[in-house]
């Protein structure tokens, strides 16, 4: 399935209205925030032909509440639907469920207070429920960029002030951001998105940090990292869709402009083919540059073209101002200042 789907679920007393556009949407929140009520409405609609619940959607909406050992078989027969699953169904935390999603034609709305590290869901698709009278609107909790905490100039004047970049791994994104430094120890590859919090927590309190990771698959780890950044207050967090998205958006990889694919990816990304939008942007970039000896993209070994000063400047232009200033300052600092 692909595309953005507008869904309205309502009874005479309550109304939920929201959009889903990826294969995984997470609804978070504590008790009494309306999560369970949403499931109850869907259950009522499914079980009672005379139910007062009404659903408006261009695709079928299904609620799944089978926590037995046959859940996989039951889910496999549902196709091209938006499937709602409550956190009482513990299988959503399993590798088997993640494997099922890899080839599913469905979108899944998972209602849970727990992080789901087996699933590559986006920081942009985690919602809380905002209530206004009888209306309930899932409200985005996180976004791709979180601004600077604390005062940059204040840290810059500190004699102990240091600067460091933490990336997911040591592949193309790491190689790009490392090129801003004259000392490779100032750029740290965490060894995977699940390790970023661990690496971040090992840094000294007086180190000013920028954490950069692929937002398309960082949803399971964002809350822990955000909470830590809020305490430290000297950390920049930046989670674009992916590094490949950055290259495509900046226009440095191709003379072709992928306006539609980048502005409305949901219309082009089939959930049955791509579990994460990051995979789609990687394939798109590889396809676009495959016949270009200079710009041919390799995730494991970034071509020197992308690390040239001219190209770096173009990529910086689409980054948030705080991060752009940080990287330019890092680039211009002498080894002693770094």
H helices of the chain, where? 35-47, 71-76, 95-101, 152-156, 172-178, 196-202, 222-232, 243-250, 259-263, 277-289, 309-316, 321-332
H helices of 48-171, where? 71-76, 95-101, 152-156
What is the helix, strand, coil percentage profile of the chain, to 5?
Answer: 35, 20, 45
Enumerate helices (H) and strands (E) in the chain, giving the number of each: 12, 14
The domain limits of the chain are 5-140, 145-332
Task: Give Cβ neighbours of residue 287 (< 8 Å, ≥ 6 apart).
Answer: none
What is the C-alpha separation between 53 and 66, in angstroms, rounded?
Answer: 21
Fold of domain 5-140: Rossmann fold (3.40.50)
> How remote is the C-alpha of 30 from its chain's centroid?
22
Beta partners for residue 279, in sequence order: none
Beta partners for residue 109, in sequence order: 25, 84
Q: Pick the closest to residue 161 from 186, 195, 142, 143 (CA basis).
A: 186
- Largest Cα–Cα separation, the chain: 75
Stretch among 20-34, 146-160, 225-239 having the lowest mean pLDDT: 146-160
Average confidence (pLDDT) over 149-173: 65
The more confidently predicted of residues 278 and 160 is 278
Average predicted confidence (pLDDT) for the chain:
86
Beta partners for residue 75, in sequence order: none
User: 81 near 61, Cβ under 8 Å?
Assistant: yes
- pLDDT tens column, 301-313: 999 999 999 999 9
- pLDDT tens column, 104-136: 999 999 999 899 999 999 999 998 887 776 676
In the chain, % of residues over pLDDT 70: 87
The answer on pLDDT for 50 being more than 90 is: no
Average confidence (pLDDT) over 261-273: 95
């Amino acid at each position: 399935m692909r595309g953005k789907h507008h869904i309205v679920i309502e009874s005479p007393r309550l109304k939920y209205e929201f959009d889903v556009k990826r294969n995984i949407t997470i609804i978070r929140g504590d008790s009494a925030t309306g999560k369970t009520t949403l499931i109850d409405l869907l259950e009522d609609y499914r079980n009672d032909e005379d139910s007062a619940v009404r659903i408006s959607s261009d695709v079928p909406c299904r609620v799944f509440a089978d926590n037995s050992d046959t859940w996989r078989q039951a889910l496999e027969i549902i196709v091209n639907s938006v499937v709602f699953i409550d956190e009482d169904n513990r299988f959503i935390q399993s590798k088997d469920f993640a494997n099922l999603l890899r080839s599913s034609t469905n979108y899944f709305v998972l209602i849970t207070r727990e992080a789901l590290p087996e699933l590559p869901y986006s920081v942009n698709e985690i919602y809380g429920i905002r209530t206004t009278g009888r209306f309930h609107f899932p409200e985005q909790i996180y976004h791709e960029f979180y601004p600077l905490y604390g005062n940059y100039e204040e840290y810059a004047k500190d004699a102990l002030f240091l600067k460091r970049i933490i990336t997911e791994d040591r592949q193309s994104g790491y190689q790009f951001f490392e090129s801003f430094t004259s000392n490779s120890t100032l750029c740290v590859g965490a060894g995977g998105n699940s390790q970023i919090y661990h690496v971040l927590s090992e840094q000294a309190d007086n180190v000013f940090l920028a954490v950069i990771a692929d937002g398309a698959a960082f949803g399971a780890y964002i809350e822990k990292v955000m909470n830590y950044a809020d305490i430290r207050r000297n950390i920049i967090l930046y989670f674009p869709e992916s590094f490949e998205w950055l290259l495509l958006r900046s226009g440095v990889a191709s003379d072709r402009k992928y306006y539609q694919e980048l502005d409305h990816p949901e219309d082009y990304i089939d959930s049955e083919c791509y579990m994460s939008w990051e995979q789609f942007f990687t394939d798109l970039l590889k396809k676009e540059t495959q016949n270009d000896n200079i710009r041919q993209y390799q995730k494991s070994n970034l071509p020197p073209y992308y690390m040239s000063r001219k190209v770096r400047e173009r990529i910086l232009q689409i980054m948030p101002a705080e991060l752009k200033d940080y990287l330019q300052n890092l680039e211009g600092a002498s080894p002693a200042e770094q």
